[in-house]
Amino acid sequence: MTLTSIAFISVVSCYAAVAAVVDVRLHRIPNHLTVPAAVFGLMFHALFFEGWGILLSFAGLLVGFGLLFLPWLLGGSGMGDVKLLAALGAWLGPTHLIYVFVVSVFLAAVLALGVMVKVAATKGVSSVQRNYLAKGRSGKQRSRPQRVLPFAVPVALATWIVLAWLTMSQGGQVFELTLH
C-alpha cells in the first residue's frame, strides 16, 4: 500500500467519522466541515492525477449533491447530509460514492428499525408512534416526525465498509480506483 493510499483512506475515514460525531451531537453538519472537505477532495485529485482526475472528482461532487437534493427539497434530509455526500463524492468519485450511498440507505433502514424495535420493547409501541412516525395514535398528521438517527452515521459506516472492500479487493490502491 502506498503512502498516498494510506493518506487517502485516513483522510476520508476521519472525515466521515467527524461528520457522524458532529451530526449526532449537533443534529447538523456545518459548512465549515463540508465545504473544506469538498475543496480538498477536488484539490487532491487535481494534484495527484493528470487529466481526468479533477473531472471525475467534480462529477462525484455533483452526484453526491444530486442524490439527496430532491429528498432535501421534500423535507426528508438536511442540507448537511446533501453537502456531506457531495464532499465524499469529491473524494471517492461518482461510482464509489453510489456504492456508499446504497450501503448507507440499507444501513439507515436496518439501524432505524433496530432503534424503533428497542424503543418499542423498552417504552412501548405508542412511544414509537408518538416520536418517530408521521401519524401518532390519534391519527393526526405531524408536521415533521423526530429523526431516528442522523444520516451521517450510516454514511460513515458505509464509507468505511466500501473503503475496506476496495482495499481488500484491490491491494490497497484505493484512491486510484476512484477514477473508474
116/125 Cα distance (integer angstroms): 9
Angle at 30 between CA 90 and CA 167, to 5 degrees: 35
Per residue in 117-148, pLDDT (tens digit) is 888 888 888 877 777 765 545 555 555 556 66
- Number of structural domains found in the chain: 1
Per residue in 8-31, pLDDT (tens digit) is 899 999 999 999 999 999 999 999
The whole model's pTM is what? Answer: 0.83
C-alpha cell at 167: 482495499
Which range of residues forms the domain containing residue 135?
Answer: 3-177
11 contacts 59 by C-beta, under 8 angstroms:
no
